Amino acid sequence: MDNISIAATLRSPKISFDFTHNKFNISGESYPENVSEFYSPLIKEMEAYLSSVVNADIEFCFELIYFNSSTAKILLELFDMLDEAAHRGNRVDITWTYEVDDDNLKELGQEFGADLQHARFSMQEITL
Amino acid sequence: MASLADDLYQLKSQFDRDNLLFCYSGFFTQEVLEGIGVALRAKLAVEQTERRVAKNLFSVFVEQVQNVVRYSAEKDEGDSEQGGETVLRYGILLVGRRAGGYFVSCGNLVRDEDVERLRGELAIIETLSREELMIQYKQALRRPPPPGCKGANVGFLDIARLAGGGVEFDFTQVREGYSFFAMNALM
């Protein structure tokens, strides 16, 4: 499985999916013109990877500064997929960062994290 | 007799009296959204707006404009410069100051047959508390999008959640089969 690296644009995040080392990162801003066009290939790759991986230490870091509601739907889908992989015996660590004083991203992190049953979840405040 | 300058100045003065930062009326494209977004952030930075207010305002602006881009019933369809099909959808956007904070108002044409559904959805959203809005928002994020929906269909919930000063909406019939839908969010 080829690693995925996509540079950030004004409206789409930087993507780093390192399948070799089980490390994943989404950072920046996300309100692309067509959310499903941007994320569908990534979700598909993640699905294929997660369905095949066993007994792995998976780290997924969400470092978003801003995302719209269509992106939120994708993020929640990723959370659910990762939780399912943890349920099947992988060790999954999800980190959610939010900018100091960004009550909204902090609250969304708490809400998304609260629904996880199996993955470990931590939040990190950052200063830009 | 009114002059070019008088007419335009009168229009500008009205905008100033309404405490507008700016107004855009016409067709919205992704580039318009992007450009206004950059300008809006620059203005809020210059004014040293509290970052959390600036971020919420930006979020509400994006959700409102994306509603117009996706759903406005007033549109031009034709060839794009690249040779494909393109659709330009019309609406109006106002951003300004009110009651010590900011407001974002957006309006566009909708088909009459959609008015009751929208009114119903928004009337429910108006009654929800912050906690209830978050619950509804999360539920909506997990629901598969209805057919014909180009986004996550959760924009209104997101706007209501982020507009600390509340949201209001209104409809007025403008011509046979079409109504004008207006929404205002206060932060």
Give the number of other CB atoms < 10 A from CB of residue B95. Answer: 23
Judged by CB atoms closer than 8 Å, whether chains meet at B151 and A101 is answered as: no
Candidates A39, A69, A80, A81: best to mutate against B (most CBs of B within 10 A) is A69
Query: DSSP 3-state assignment of B151?
Result: coil
Task: Tell me what pLDDT residue B1 has.
Answer: 62
Our CA angle for B161, B167, B173, nearest 5°, is 135
DSSP assigned state of B146: P
The pLDDT assigned to A128 comes to 76
> Helix B51-71 crosses helix B155-162 at what angle (to 10 degrees)?
160
Q: Which residues contact B179 (CB under 8 A, 6 or more apart)?
A: B109, B110, B111, B112, B115, B171, B172, B173
Q: What is the pLDDT of residue A121?
A: 98
A68 touches chain B (CB under 8 A): yes
Residue B68: CB atoms within 10 Å: 23
Whole-angstrom CA distances from A90 to A57, A78, A93, B65, B66 are: 6, 15, 10, 41, 38
Residue A73 phi/psi, 5-degree rounding, is -60, -45
Domain ranges of chain A: 4-126
**Chain A closest-CA separation from residue B81 CA (Å):** 17
> Which residues in A lie closer than 8 A to residue B52 (C-beta atoms)?
101-104
Subunit contact A99:B51, Cβ cutoff 8 A? yes
Contacts of B56 in chain A (CB under 8 A): 104
Q: Note the pLDDT tens digit of each residue in A14-43.
A: 999 999 999 999 999 999 988 999 999 999
Say what the pLDDT of residue B146 is: 66
> What string of DSSP letters covers chain A?
---EEE---SSS-EEEEETTTTEEEEEEEE--SSHHHHHHHHHHHHHHHHHH--S-EEEEEEEEEEE-HHHHHHHHHHHHHHHHHHHTT-EEEEEEEEETT-HHHHHHHHHHHHT-SSSEEEEEEE--
> Can you give the pLDDT at residue B147?
63
Which pair of structure tokens corresponds to residue A40?
A: 């569908």
The number of residues making up chain B comes to: 187
Query: Which secondary-structure segment (H or E) carries B11?
Result: helix B4-17
- For residues B55 and A66, the answer to whether their CB atoms sit within 8 Å is yes
pLDDT by residue for chain B (187 residues), tens only, comes to: 679 999 999 999 999 999 999 999 999 988 899 999 999 999 999 999 998 899 999 999 999 999 888 888 998 888 877 778 888 999 999 999 998 899 999 999 999 999 999 999 899 999 999 999 999 999 999 987 766 555 546 899 999 999 999 999 999 999 999 999 999 999 9
Euclidean distance between CA atoms A43 and A34, whole angstroms = 14
Q: How far is A102 from chain B (nearest CA, A)?
A: 6
Q: Do B141 and A104 touch (CB under 8 A)?
A: no
Chain B residues with CB-CB distance to A31 below 8 A: 62, 66
CATH of domain B19-186: 3.30.565
